[in-house]
Structure 1
């Protein structure tokens, strides 16, 4: 039979055998073997609990506790049957009853009671309470952990596989602590059952010996009571081991090492506690009457151990001489001065009270999230943004952060310490500072972190401070991606593309377009929120268009046409795009009013007509959004750039597409037409 099959059948067969033990008498030899197996198995479980790094590494522990408890009770029943029937229950119980307790019933009962008190009153009660509190806190923390995982996923700190793994760990942890709460009740019930079984055996053995077998009272007590005490001790030793294992599991926090290594490493980390403990032990020798050797030995051992621990590293104080030497060693060279005066493309400044977000010793992970944000942005828009320079700024107000582009502040927000951001409509009853979510402008409130679970129950979305800052930074980077795309970045993208598509690159640059002209096209695409990940299609389209013109907007339109499916895809819902179109007469008038300027194409309509067009577009777009639709404005490619430049100031989030970009779209649904009659009537 395969080993896997044997492993699957071992536990079910063992449980069936335990049930049989409750009914069928066992010979003393087999009982001795099973008792030895019980003690050894309990010791193995205890050692396993000590060597795991995380409680979830022993996730089967609650089930093991139940099986071992049932096994021990079955041994109690079998031993009781042999003691009452034959006055003999094997060598193990006989040895515990006579040799271990010296053949004294009183001593045996006292030891049994002491073991019972240790297990029931101290270990089992404590473990049960810890398991109950752990289960409650784990369940209460589940929504917050799920939100943290989602925030890490959205910020790009982890990928989908890692997020799925963490979610499964959260559920497994909740299931484990819930099961441990029940398993602790098994251990407590086992201790109570041991008391009841022992009392029954004492009374039953005395009754059998005197009433049934006609023994003298003293002989009956000596024969049956000692065997009962031996049975109780044999049962209590593995029960005590399992109770200790239960306590270790429920009090074990996540660590990188096993419990023994963890304890020794933490106790032996500092010299001072060992030195004080050693000196205190040696000083006890001054008390008259106390033996000197044990305390001298213990104290000396502590002092020897303390001498083997290296001293804590001390930071030397900076003196004027050392500062002068440092200044001499590092003169203000032109290279250093130039490096200091250079402006960082992207910067994040934090007020003094927000430094905890970047302090890894207190759990701050903002820097890691910012690094992960660069990967996420590169995957979304196809541009590698420059490193984010994070620093503190004492001039910022309390709980404030600022985002800078090329040394100029472009965004600012707040993130008070000890709070989380709750986004929702039912937050009026909660204490906190009312604000607006920095990206979408939603109503929100900074509430105390302790009220996170309550806010989630009320239907609010709760986000931690680091996630708010990272999301805000991502929005700023995406909005200003065109400004962040430098000439060196274009060179890097071109060099990477040349390794896989050399012909495409060599045909375009520098033969037809310079890097600066390619940069202007990519910036034009990024400025309208178009990803430039598909550089192959962009470069191929530019190669064809550059043969006829090098006008930047014409090149941008050619690239957009090539990227049409990718541009339209974000606005398609179930394969359907909801469009706002312009009346052909209105388009013709706009084409006639099209003028080329240094800033690009503009539509020079008179003020009244232009305002009427914008009003009508805004009205149709608002009606569509009220129906949970995401409309786009479409027009002919010749005027698309001018139309976008006209509507952008008042409707920044309304996409403007051309008909050529919609060619590959399966379904197009009109949500409104801006009619020429409505607009021209104003000027008539």
Structure 2
């Protein structure tokens, strides 16, 4: 244990000992001075803190000092009642401070108790109670604000953790202060009781046991009682004042002294008014001019000097800012900072500001947080922070979505309307014709008055925030593979290493580098396969990477290992999976067109044959769509990868599966076949 730890433990043991063991007068005097010193140190610390958490240990300090003070009071009371002597410090306060007048001492003690108990302690108790209540009530809002700033890219993950810890610490601190003020209040009550015990019981003991006359007993024990009361009330008053300062202190960049000077005496015009008022008061009323006029002159001179210093400070700041701006424009770092590109950007016109302005009811920031969480669970990767900013170059109601600096989508919203999508082709409601941005469906912008009629007719009605949230979700989902780079892959590997260290060490950096793993994961995401089940993916890669280093072939092995996941993804819990099969003729054309090179295999098919296959797929997909069936192409494992290469440019939304990627328990039903003549 450290010396400081032993010191604190020893102090606590001493407090307990004071409650039981009689202490000599010289030790009591020493401990009383220590008590006054610690109380003064606590007050100075409270005055110089900038925010509450700078003195987070204060509630515990209040408890320890209160116990210390009560222990001293019990020890001095024991010494007064048994020996009639509590040390030189108590005797000094009883004689010197009160001027030898017991009545004056009792009056001073009574005033100290009234000031502490009825003014400072009572006020501090109420402020601490209100602060604790407001802090706890505001905690959820502060947490949501931190999440919003993190999602908007205004703060980093580290800063968000620090701010969350600060919010939690403030909540704990004010909750503890609410209880700590009860110690201060109880200490004031205990001091009053001990004074009466010392005075009344002391006089009785003095007359009955020590044989003193009534006057002698009253004088001696009154002096000791007043001295003991003063040496206990002065530290208690300091602690009560410190408590009041702490609970009434608002967070700022300076301590109490600097804040008073900068805020109370910051406006020179008010000082001139105060100086004039004091001067007129001295000249018009019988108040002595030798008091009022110097005070007025001091205020006026201070206001004049303040104006001059402020003007000089403003000029210095302007010159400094101009120098910084010039140096910044010349520095090479200024150009380097312009090269960074945000992974995901959402830009909007000024007419859509209410979407993100919480004061106007906007909840887009909260929705983006939920989107990131939803896609993380769905895709198995950490979605980067979405940079949200306004752009005056866009139309007022326009927005656009960019991935790595490239615009991928653009849309327009009418904030005072709803987007209604028809279940059929009939236009049964009036509205502004538009296209639903996420899936390209025909829709209408309708007003609040038409909303109920639209829902009655079977329209799907959504509000503008839901429209843009869905659009953003679909864009991120469709481009998830572009968001997974080597750095993000390294983060996934490090996360997996915490639970499967042996598996990770067997796979990387040999035989597969991070770049190879990133390519496999990227190809899975590109076809909408979640990579959340990393242990299975890494197990498969570890098994087959010894046979081949071709990432395309490794991806096929991984897909087969994820058969149950892929089957559940496309069957939606149904016992039957309806698919469009591929004829043996097309599979033979694909197999014959595979070119093998030392850098991997690729499809080199005759353009006319490719065109015929694509036309046959389009025809079959259109026919199945009229049956309100989803289109899934099913082929043999040997050609699945190449069929996907052929169709991904023209039919990116159509899944291409192989027989080995389907769970044996699922029933497969063919609703069509792709064939060529």
TM class by smaller structure? 0.5 to 0.7
Describe the shift of the 1:84–1:641 C-alpha distance in structure 2 as closer, same or farther (beyond 3 A). Answer: same
1:637 corresponds in structure 2 to: 641
2:392 corresponds in structure 1 to: 391
Offset of 1:68 from its aligned partner? 0.4
Offset of 1:564 from its aligned partner? 4.2
The 2-side partners of 1:9 and 1:182 are apart by: 27
Offset of 1:181 from its aligned partner? 1.1
Q: Is the 8 A contact 2:282 2:288 kept in 1?
A: yes
The 2-side partners of 1:34 and 1:118 are apart by: 25
* Corresponding residue SS for 1:254: coil
* Corresponding residue SS for 2:392: strand
The 2-side partners of 1:72 and 1:170 are apart by: 33
Q: Is the 8 A contact 1:401 1:414 kept in 2?
A: no
Q: Is the 8 A contact 1:595 1:603 kept in 2?
A: no
1:610 corresponds in structure 2 to: 621
The 1-side partners of 2:467 and 2:295 are apart by: 54
1:267-306 equivalences under 5 Å are 267-306=264-303
In the alignment, which of 79, 102, 114 is matched to residue 105 of structure 1? 102
1:561 corresponds in structure 2 to: 552
- Aligned pair 1:89/2:100, yes or no? no
Describe the shift of the 1:634–1:304 C-alpha distance in structure 2 as closer, same or farther (beyond 3 A). Answer: farther
* Corresponding residue SS for 1:679: strand
- Aligned pair 1:257/2:254, yes or no? yes
Describe the shift of the 1:567–1:146 C-alpha distance in structure 2 as closer, same or farther (beyond 3 A). Answer: farther
Write the deviation string for residues 215-239 of structure 1: whole angstroms up to 9, x where unpaired: 2322222111121011111111100
Q: Is the 8 A contact 1:51 1:259 kept in 2?
A: yes
1:429 corresponds in structure 2 to: none
Describe the shift of the 1:122–1:674 C-alpha distance in structure 2 as closer, same or farther (beyond 3 A). Answer: same
Q: Is the 8 A contact 2:109 2:229 kept in 1?
A: yes
* Corresponding residue SS for 2:21: coil
* Corresponding residue SS for 1:181: helix
Write the deviation string for residues 656-675 of structure 1: whole angstroms up to 9, x where unpaired: 3676xx99xxx974785764
* Corresponding residue SS for 1:411: strand
1:247 corresponds in structure 2 to: 244
The 1-side partners of 2:470 and 2:306 are apart by: 47
The 2-side partners of 1:257 and 1:634 are apart by: 72
1:679 corresponds in structure 2 to: 672
The 2-side partners of 1:470 and 1:260 are apart by: 50
- Aligned pair 1:68/2:61, yes or no? no
In the alignment, which of 122, 127, 139 is matched to residue 125 of structure 1? 122
The 2-side partners of 1:613 and 1:356 are apart by: 42
Q: Is the 8 A contact 1:69 1:190 kept in 2?
A: yes
- Aligned pair 1:586/2:582, yes or no? yes
Describe the shift of the 1:525–1:71 C-alpha distance in structure 2 as closer, same or farther (beyond 3 A). Answer: closer
In the alignment, which of 131, 135, 138 is matched to residue 134 of structure 1? 131
The 2-side partners of 1:8 and 1:585 are apart by: 76
Describe the shift of the 1:561–1:236 C-alpha distance in structure 2 as closer, same or farther (beyond 3 A). Answer: same
1:450 corresponds in structure 2 to: none
Offset of 1:410 from its aligned partner? 2.2
Q: Is the 8 A contact 1:352 1:392 kept in 2?
A: no
1:527-606 equivalences under 5 Å are 561=552, 564=555, 578=569, 585-586=581-582, 588=584, 603-605=614-616
Q: Is the 8 A contact 2:581 2:672 kept in 1?
A: no
In the alignment, which of 214, 218, 226 is matched to residue 217 of structure 1? 214
1:155-166 equivalences under 5 Å are 155-166=152-163
* Corresponding residue SS for 2:42: helix
Q: Is the 8 A contact 1:583 1:673 kept in 2?
A: no
- Aligned pair 1:8/2:2, yes or no? no
Offset of 1:159 from its aligned partner? 4.1
The 1-side partners of 2:154 and 2:7 are apart by: 43
Structure 2's unaligned 5+ residue stretches are: 315-344, 417-436, 440-463, 484-521, 531-548, 572-576, 591-604
The 2-side partners of 1:128 and 1:146 are apart by: 27
Offset of 1:205 from its aligned partner? 1.7
2:410 corresponds in structure 1 to: 410
* Corresponding residue SS for 2:672: helix
Aligned length: 503
Q: Is the 8 A contact 2:120 2:244 kept in 1?
A: yes
Offset of 1:568 from its aligned partner? 7.1
TM-score (norm 2): 0.60
Q: Is the 8 A contact 2:401 2:472 kept in 1?
A: no
1:611-626 equivalences under 5 Å are 611=622, 613-614=624-625
Offset of 1:213 from its aligned partner? 2.8
Describe the shift of the 1:572–1:241 C-alpha distance in structure 2 as closer, same or farther (beyond 3 A). Answer: farther
The 2-side partners of 1:164 and 1:384 are apart by: 15
Describe the shift of the 1:125–1:559 C-alpha distance in structure 2 as closer, same or farther (beyond 3 A). Answer: farther
CA RMSD of aligned residues (A): 5.5
Describe the shift of the 1:285–1:671 C-alpha distance in structure 2 as closer, same or farther (beyond 3 A). Answer: farther
* Corresponding residue SS for 1:289: coil
Structure 1's unaligned 5+ residue stretches are: 316-344, 417-437, 441-464, 486-522, 532-557, 622-632
The 2-side partners of 1:139 and 1:278 are apart by: 44
Q: Is the 8 A contact 1:634 1:657 kept in 2?
A: no
The 1-side partners of 2:529 and 2:233 are apart by: 72
Describe the shift of the 1:169–1:401 C-alpha distance in structure 2 as closer, same or farther (beyond 3 A). Answer: farther
Write the deviation string for residues 437-473 of structure 1: whole angstroms up to 9, x where unpaired: x999xxxxxxxxxxxxxxxxxxxxxxxx9x9999789
* Corresponding residue SS for 1:22: helix
Offset of 1:91 from its aligned partner? 1.6
Describe the shift of the 1:84–1:387 C-alpha distance in structure 2 as closer, same or farther (beyond 3 A). Answer: closer
Offset of 1:253 from its aligned partner? 2.2
* Corresponding residue SS for 2:211: coil
